[in-house]
Chains A and B, each alone.
Chain A
Amino acid sequence: MAFSWPWRTRHTKTSDILWLDLGDLGDLVNPSGPHEQWQDHGLGLLRTILQQNGIETDLASTRAVTSWEQLANQMQGYKMMIMNVRSYTFPVARKAAHIFKEINPEGIILTGGMHATVAPNEMEAVEEFDKICQGPGETVIVDLVRDPDAFPRVFQATGARSMADWPMIDRTLWPQPVGRKVKRRWKWHWPMEPECGWGPGPVATILTSRVCPWQCVFCNENSYIPNMGRRPVEAVIDELNYLDRTYGVGSVVIHDSMFFQNPRWLREWIELYPRKANKVWPYWAAGRADTVRQWPDLFEALIRETNWKTISIGFESGSDRILKLLNKECTEEDNYFAIDLVNRLGDELEARGEEPPKFWSNIMLGIPGETKEDAFKTMRMLKRMKRVFPSISYYAPYPGSALGFQLIAEGKSMMSLDNYHRYPDDEKVKGVDYQFYRELLAGKYDDEINRGLATVTRGADLYEGTLIKA
């Protein structure tokens, strides 16, 4: 066995069942950024349900080792391994399954997760995957682990009707960062998550809703995640208060695909969060430009009264052509409405000595059909935002999404079974001039971008080096 740092991570076997957390090797040892350290809520929920039903599982993580040899060492002697597989962790899951079967030829592997739902054929082709659960696992996981033979190899599960039926996640069931160095560097108070620039740590990530009902064709999660009732406002606040009492909370990340939906729930949040939370923690949450335009008073009240400080909006593009191509159902006008509103609110709060809200602005480049002028319009839109964290990525044709499926069918996707990874600079679609985008993000076209602006207050440093994983 080859030795590599850390030579061995301690792993105590207490069960015959191993849950394997998936991600790039070393992400919990020496993460390249804070986002690699987000924890898997699916893993947390399902391990909590198993534990509450008297089924203990051990935990290993591909993120907590730096070599496959280390992982192999931790897999020895298990009769069962469980994995929650996403498209971008599919290659890691395949490799881990192969190693597990080599070491434990009689062991069985249970898989589920988003990739099982959107790409069952790819999952079925991996002979090491003994059971493949499509759809949500919360109502089936206990029976599956107790008696896997009672299930066919590929089966469809049905989720809870409402998130109110979910137990509160036991966060101590999440993997830990490896070593004191990483904890110190990222001020990581496990099992809370480290700060990433959106608010002070410790960070509580939480879900209040599932499924964005809109139809953006780079996602379409409503086609493979069933509708589910939103978590009651009081339950969300109770969990945050519990986490604060137990571990301390500095800020909150509401990881919902679409937080700013369902006005009745949002009005209750405005009413109860400032009154009942131990502290009105600042939070990160997502919305859409057209919903901001549809419900501006509600949006403003959330910012003023509930401390919504980091507003994630999937602007994606500053060009109506591309917004149509992405089926975003938002227009340039919607985008500018949201930008100008947040700029105005920010100016006002700053003038009063308060911290202004900032955009987490999701931008997509390299969309097939996008022209240079479309991309310039997008960068001009970005420059209109006075306070912004740009989150720029190249469009990625993931299976599950309408445009992803269509481009795969047309033979234009450059993503494959072995490279569903999420490296920022990957080329993902045939025919896209990635060299142009590299030069764009290096500032080469800033003069051209600025020529289309009435006033120029920001340089190319706004977007240089901001490309992130898709």
Chain B
Amino acid sequence: MSSFSNPHFMYLFDLKSGKQKLAYGESPQDALDILRIRLSETEMAEIHQDRFIKISQRELQKYVHNLG
């Protein structure tokens, strides 16, 4: 029962380009694993995997201008 027992959070990872990548999961590591499902190795390599902030869904619209 995921949303009750294993809630997900949203994260913004810094990209080498200065932009940010939106990801989500139970933890930052889980969020990166989920990104890996749809991104290529080259795209994953653009992500600073240790530079991220946790955001609330309610604030999502504030960050969209800088996604890359």
Contacts and interface: CB of A to CB of B under 8 A. Distances in A.
Interface of A: 118, 214-215, 217, 220, 222-224, 288, 290-291, 293-294, 321-322, 324-325, 327-331, 334, 368-369, 400, 402, 405-406, 408-410
B34 A331 contact: no
A261 B20 CA distance: 33
Q: Which 7 A-B pairs have the closest CB atoms?
A: A369-B38, A329-B3, A409-B67, A223-B60, A369-B37, A329-B2, A405-B64
Contacts of B22: 402, 405-406
B18 interface: no
Interface string B39-64: 00001000000000000011111001
A410 B42 CA distance: 13
B2 A220 contact: no
Contact of A405 (B1, B57, B67): B67
Nearest to B60: A223
Interface residues of B, number: 25
A334 B2 contact: yes
Interface of B: 1-4, 6-8, 10, 19, 21-22, 24-25, 34, 37-38, 43, 57-61, 64, 67-68
Nearest to A429: B38
Contact of A215 (B8, B21, B64, B67): B8
Nearest to B25: A324
A294 B7 CA distance: 14
A263 to B, nearest CB: 12
Given A290-B2, A330-B2, A409 B19 contact: yes
Given A215-B10, A409-B19, A290 B64 contact: no
Given A224-B61, A324-B34, A409-B19, A294 B24 contact: no
Given A220-B60, A324-B37, 14 more contacts: A215-B57, A223-B58, A290-B2, A290-B4, A291-B3, A294-B1, A294-B4, A327-B25, A329-B6, A330-B2, A334-B2, A400-B61, A405-B64, A405-B67
